[in-house]
Amino acid sequence: MKTSRLFEIIYILLDRKKVTANELSHHFEVSIRTIYRDIDTLSSAGIPIYMIQGKNGGISLVDNFVLDKSMLSSEEQKEIKIALQSIQATHYPEVEKLLAKMNLFLKGDETPWIEIEFNHWDNDNEKFQLLKTATIYKQIIHFQYHNNCGEQSNREVVPLKLWFKERHWYLKAYCLEKENYRLFKLSRIKRLSKTNKTFNKPIPLDTSLINFNENRINTTTVKLKIHHSQANRVYDEFPEKSIVKEKDAYIVSLSYPEDEWLYGYILSFGNYAKVMEPYYMQKIIKERLITALKNYI
């Protein structure tokens, strides 16, 4: 994201000649301090950019400056375009325009090496925009959340980062009620809203160092025997290392919190799957099948 912002700053200055740090801050939805760091980065890279203090001051490029693509190696040009194409997959509003400009500037007719479509954002763009703004400005958000057990709770959190993993979007956040870091599945977040409060305490910037847990509970390892006709689901839903191919079936292992979701997942295979381990779970699944059957008797 920083690379695309730096290039857009240059294009804004080429177009408008002079702009204030406050204007850039609002345009990119980042802090003024971040804009100052960007200006330092551009200056260190050899871009003739300068700032004038005072009432009529602002950020400008020296007169007659022309952005020369020779400042970048061919590999650097490719990396910039690849980075923008990757960001494009999240439907970040300004990337389409910036990518079009960069294609004209850098030339080349390389076919994009990756194409990703996150349809979820098309249907829920307001949620994405709200979370993006709240994350940048450390604004506290409020929402209803439904956990793995179907329990509903009201949460006030400081959003830290959006995270995409294994076909799902998550929100990494600091929960004010629990006074700890938590991971929330976006599809379970309802009635999302921003508060007028901000969080001013220090928060680690590198969220990868934080142990996020949606629910701190133990998991159960389950072994299933799945009919060979379900090969598409087996390879879609299980890592290859957990699959053992037999003559007419697949033996797979999965580790999940033992709750209604897990039972429902096993039952979703219908008569094409059987619980091999743990043995006691066979009785649990059998009881649920009998209960379901009563709905049709």
Which pLDDT value is given to residue 219? 82
Task: Give residue 225's domain range.
Answer: 219-294
Residues 226 and 171 in one domain: no
As beta bridge partners, residue 156 has 142
Residues 17 and 63 in one domain: yes
Rounded to whole angstroms, the Cα distance separating 255 from 37 reads 45
Final residue of a structural domain among 172, 200, 228: 200
How many domains does the structure of the chain reveal?
A: 3
Which pLDDT value is given to residue 85? 57
CATH of the domain at 66: 1.10.10.10
Which pLDDT value is given to residue 251? 96
Residues 9 and 101 in one domain: yes
User: Per residue of the chain (297 residues), what is the pLDDT tens digit?
Assistant: 566 678 778 777 777 778 888 888 888 888 888 888 888 888 877 778 888 877 778 888 877 665 554 555 666 556 665 555 555 555 555 555 655 655 555 555 555 555 556 555 555 677 888 888 888 788 899 999 988 777 889 999 999 888 877 677 889 898 888 888 888 988 889 999 998 888 877 665 555 556 665 445 578 899 999 999 999 999 988 888 899 999 899 999 988 878 888 899 999 999 999 999 999 999 999 999 999 888 888
Residues 60 and 35 in one domain: yes
Which pLDDT value is given to residue 197? 86
Answer whether 34's CB lies under 8 Å from 25's CB: yes
Model confidence pTM above 0.85 = no
Which pLDDT value is given to residue 61? 82
Final residue of a structural domain among 167, 200, 233: 200
Which pLDDT value is given to residue 51? 83
Rounded to whole angstroms, the Cα distance separating 273 from 251 reads 10
As beta bridge partners, residue 287 has none
Rounded to whole angstroms, the Cα distance separating 259 from 257 reads 6
Which pLDDT value is given to residue 26? 84
SS (H, E, C) the chain: CHHHHHHHHHHHHHHHCEECHHHHHHHHCCCHHHHHHHHHHHHHCCCCEEEECCCCCEEEECCCCCCCHHHCCHHHHHHHHHHHHHHHCCCCCCHHHHHHHHHHHHCCCCCCCCCCCCHHHHHCHHHHHHHHHHHHCCEEEEEEEECCCCCEEEEEEEEEEEEEECCEEEEEEEECCCCEEEEEEHHHEEEEEEEEEECCCCCCCCHHHCCCCCCCCCEEEEEEEEEHHHHHHHHHHCCHHHEEECCCEEEEEEEEECCHHHHHHHHCCHHHEEEEECCHHHHHHHHHHHHHHHCCC
In a domain, 206, yes or no: no
In a domain, 115, yes or no: no
In a domain, 207, yes or no: no
Residues 17 and 72 in one domain: yes
Which pLDDT value is given to residue 156? 93
Q: Which amino acid is at 288?
A: R
CATH of the domain at 190: 2.30.30
In a domain, 157, yes or no: yes
In a domain, 116, yes or no: no
What are the distances in angstroms from CA 169 to CA 93, 124, 164, 201, 293?
19, 12, 4, 26, 35
Which pLDDT value is given to residue 58? 87
Residues 86 and 157 in one domain: no
Max CA separation in the chain (angstroms)? 84
In a domain, 149, yes or no: yes
Residues 7 and 95 in one domain: yes
Residues 244 and 285 in one domain: yes
Taking CB atoms within 8 Å and a gap of at least 24, the contacts of 63-68 are 65/14, 67/10, 67/14, 67/105
Residues 72 and 11 in one domain: yes
Q: Which two tokens stand for residue 3?
A: 């690379």
Residues 187 and 238 in one domain: no
In a domain, 286, yes or no: yes
Final residue of a structural domain among 78, 106, 134: 106
In a domain, 146, yes or no: yes
Which pLDDT value is given to residue 213? 56
Please choose, from the candidates 136, 145, 211, 142, the residue with its C-alpha nearest in 3D space to the C-alpha of residue 172. Answer: 211
As beta bridge partners, residue 105 has none
